[in-house]
A = this chain, B = another copy of it.
Amino acid sequence: MDEQTEAIDLMRSITSKLIRNQANTMQNLNLNQQQGRTLQYIGLHEGLIQKDLADAFLLRGATISSMLQGLEQKGYIERRVPSDNERQKQIFLSERGSKVLADVNQVFIDSQKKLKQTINDKEYQELIRLLRAVNQNM
């Protein structure tokens, strides 16, 4: 592997494997990875607006718009225009969405468990520390 790009090559490789591992289960839930991540984020920040999602995932507003239309059609979320600002739409999980979210969370938890098993506990703690620093400073 080329040393000049090894770090990002490794991250991409690991990410691909994680997505592949999750693919089967997510497909049973009728979601792709991005939709699953979005449901998770909504669960943690109910009432957020679409722009918050665009910022969190570094995606275009139009992409969020389309994705949420999909999640709304599947009955996983509800969108409401707040009375104090008619430009925005607040997003909430539906009852059905909350149920699916539990399954989605489990998929990601299992993924992390799998990752954790590849190195020992001390190494894992160090990896987390380093990734935090990288993420924070980028």
Contact = CB atoms under 8 A, between A and B. Distances in A.
Interface of A: 2, 4-8, 10-20, 37, 40, 44, 57-58, 105, 108-109, 111-112, 114-119, 123-124, 126-128, 130-138
A15 B5 contact: no
A131 B14 contact: yes
Chain multiplicity (copies): 2
Nearest to A130: B127
16 contacts: A4-B108, A5-B40, A8-B111, A8-B112, A10-B132, A10-B135, A11-B15, A11-B18, A12-B15, A14-B138, A17-B135, A20-B58, A115-B134, A117-B137, A118-B133, A126-B130
A7 B131 contact: yes
A contact face: mostly helix, strand, loop, or mixed: helix
B112 A13 contact: no
